[in-house]
Structure formats: structure tokens, C-alpha cells
């Protein structure tokens, strides 16, 4: 089965950044059936609130991965929305026009419901980019000021129905997160985040439709063999597995 991984951090706290390490990762991933990876960057290497220069450096690192293996890596433009409209627009324009980045990655600089998201969504709209928003249930983690609960990400998607949004971390958002995402056609959920809890993949397919669930690993925090095996072992049809593992992301990012 051909696989596209929509949620990876091939360089993580600066580890894995050499050409040799990246080539090994590509070869290893291909052996597992992964034909393409979306690199979201080394998102926490400068903490939760990187400066504009640090954001640029992180995106340049992503661009380097793409240049080394253009057929294997696509990248999303990492942003710190708190830096404001000018910085956001400038960085998105640079990453799209210079490198052909396919989406925007948002981590934990702010909550998805904050006003600073407006220019981010305007940039996504202007350049036709998908937005991948870090999301995690804040029921047990009291960090909602800058982490987005699935309620917040779903609200973002409802406020901007013309922008395609990926709510990250199926395992982190849990069953409640799936219900929050339900009924929002521009909102997709990726399967990354946490140990491979049983039943969630099936539940997401049932509630959202398999066409709204995207395979993501969160590599290197997780292991591809586990995250792929979780979908291959799920009690869903082979056609739904194919959608999740490949076709949905291929369509969303025009990777065919």
C-alpha cells in the first residue's frame, strides 16, 4: 500500500539534520511503503514563541530537506502568529514563492481561537494553503492559553469555511475531539499523537467519514511501523484504509 505521512518532524531538536541521516530516513520510510512525507519542521527547537528570524531559519531547514529529496518531502510553513500580520504574510509569501510550501503549520504559540489567527487564515486563503493546527484535549492538561483544544480548532474551521484545516493528533484529541470535528467539511483530522489507542481510527471513520481522516505519524516522537500498523489493523474497509493512508492527503495537497 502506498502511504503519505502528513505529520512529521524529520529534524527534531536539531537531530537528524545531516544529509546522511535524512537519506537513511527516506530509505527506511520507503521500505515501509511511505512514498511522501510532509515535514512540519523542528517546531519547538526555539521554544513556544520563536522570533521572526528563528521562524525563517526553521522554514529554511525544511526547504533544505525538500531540496535534498524533492520527490519525497513537501513542507508546511511554520508560523508564530503572535508576531503579527506583517511577519506572517512576509514569511508565508517567502515560503510559497521561493520553496513551493504546501501548507501552514501552527504549534503552541497561541490558541487557535485568538485574534492573531486572522492574518494567518488570510494568508492561507490568498495562497491556497492547508492549515495544520496542533490540537490536543486540554481536559487534563491545563495549558489552553497557548494549546488548542479540539473545540478551538473546530471553531477556527467554522469561522473560515473556505480554508482547509487539519486538526492534528487523533489520539490527543480523543473521542470528544472527533465529535467536535464532526459536520465541518473543511476540517480533517490526522491520526498522529500518542500511543496507538484502540478504537479511535474506527470511530473517526464512522463519525467523520474516512475521507476526512489523514495518516500522520508525528515522527520521530512516534514510530511509523506502529502508526501505520494501527490503521492497517483497524476494523475498517480496505478502501477506507487506502483513503486514510494515501488518497486523502494526495488530493488535499495535489500530490498526484
Partner 1 sequence: MLIDSNVNLGPWPFSPIPEYTGPQLAAHLAATGIRRALVSDLRAVFLPDPMPANRRLFAAVKRTPALLPVPILNPALRPWREQLDECIKAAPIRAVKICPNYHNYSLGAAHLDEFVAALSAAKLKLVLNVRLEDERHKYFALRIKGVAVADIGAFLQRFRSQHILLSGIYKPDLEKLAPSHANFSADIAFCEWINTLEALLEKIPANRLFLGTCTPLLSTRGQVDKLVRARIPARAKKLIGSENARRFFGL
Residues in contact with partner 1 by CB under 8 A are 28, 32, 136-137, 139-141, 171-172, 174-175, 194-199, 201, 203, 219-230, 232-234
User: Toward partner 1, which CB reaches closer, 25 or 124?
Assistant: 25
Query: Whole-number minimum distance, CB 185 to partner 1, in Å?
Result: 25
Taking the CA atoms of the chain, what radius of gyration do you get in angstroms? 17
Of the two residues 59 and 217, which places its CB atom closer to partner 1 in the complex?
217
- Do 167 and 177 touch, CB atoms closer than 8 A? yes
In terms of phi and psi (left: phi > 0; alpha: psi -120 to 50; beta: otherwise), the region of 165 is beta
CB of 150 to partner 1, least distance (A): 13
- Bridge pairing between strands 165-167 and 130-133: parallel
Find, among 20, 97, 107, the residue nearest to 58 by Cα.
Answer: 107
Which long-range contacts does 230-238 make (Cβ < 8 Å, 24+ apart)?
A: 230/191, 230/196, 230/201, 231/191, 231/201, 232/1, 234/201, 234/202, 234/205, 235/202, 236/201, 236/202, 236/205, 236/210, 237/210
Q: Which is nearer to partner 1, 164 or 246 (CB)?
A: 246
**Contact present, 111 and 147 (Cβ < 8 Å):** yes
Q: How far is the CB of 230 from partner 1 (least distance, A)?
A: 4
User: Cβ–Cβ contacts within 10 Å for residue 47, how many?
Assistant: 10
Give the residue with the Cβ less far from partner 1, 98 or 139. Answer: 139
Residues present in the chain in total: 256
Nearer to partner 1, 209 or 220 (CB): 220
Q: How far is the CB of 186 from partner 1 (least distance, A)?
A: 26
Closest approach, Cβ 149 to partner 1, in A, equals: 13
Nearer to partner 1, 127 or 136 (CB): 136
Least separation in angstroms between residue 232's CB and partner 1 is: 6
Amino acid at each position: 500500500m502506498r502511504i503519505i505521512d502528513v505529520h512529521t518532524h524529520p529534524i527534531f531538536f536539531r537531530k537528524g539534520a545531516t544529509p546522511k541521516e535524512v537519506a537513511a530516513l527516506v530509505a527506511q520510510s520507503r521500505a515501509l511503503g511511505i512514498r511522501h512525507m510532509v515535514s512540519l519542521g523542528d517546531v519547538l527547537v526555539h521554544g513556544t514563541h520563536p522570533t521572526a528570524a528563528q521562524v525563517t531559519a526553521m522554514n529554511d531547514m525544511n526547504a533544505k530537506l525538500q531540496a535534498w529529496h524533492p520527490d519525497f518531502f513537501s513542507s508546511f510553513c511554520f508560523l508564530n502568529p503572535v508576531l503579527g500580520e506583517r511577519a506572517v504574510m512576509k514569511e508565508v509569501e517567502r515560503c510559497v514563492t521561493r520553496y513551493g510550501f504546501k501548507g501552514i503549520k501552527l504549534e503552541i504559540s497561541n490558541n487557535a481561537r485568538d485574534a492573531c489567527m486572522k492574518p494567518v487564515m488570510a494568508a492561507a486563503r490568498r495562497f491556497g494553503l492547508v492549515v495544520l493546527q496542533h490540537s490536543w484535549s486540554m481536559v487534563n492538561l491545563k495549558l489552553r492559553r497557548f494549546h488548542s483544544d479540539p473545540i478551538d480548532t473546530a471553531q477556527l474551521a467554522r469561522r473560515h469555511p473556505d480554508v482547509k484545516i487539519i486538526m492534528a493528533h487523533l489520539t490527543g484529541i480523543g473521542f470528544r475531539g472527533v465529535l467536535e470535528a464532526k459536520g465541518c467539511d473543511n476540517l480533517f483530522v490526522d491520526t498522529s499523537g500518542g500511543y496507538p489507542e484502540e478504537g479511535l481510527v474506527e470511530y473517526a471513520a464512522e463519525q467523520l467519514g474516512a475521507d476526512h481522516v489523514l495518516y500522520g505519524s508525528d515522527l520521530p516522537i512516534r514510530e511509523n511501523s506502529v502508526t501505520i500498523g494501527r490503521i492497517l489493523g483497524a476494523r475498517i474497509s480496505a478502501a477506507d484504509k487506502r483513503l486514510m493512508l494515501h488518497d486523502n492527503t494526495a488530493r488535499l495537497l495535489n500530490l498526484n
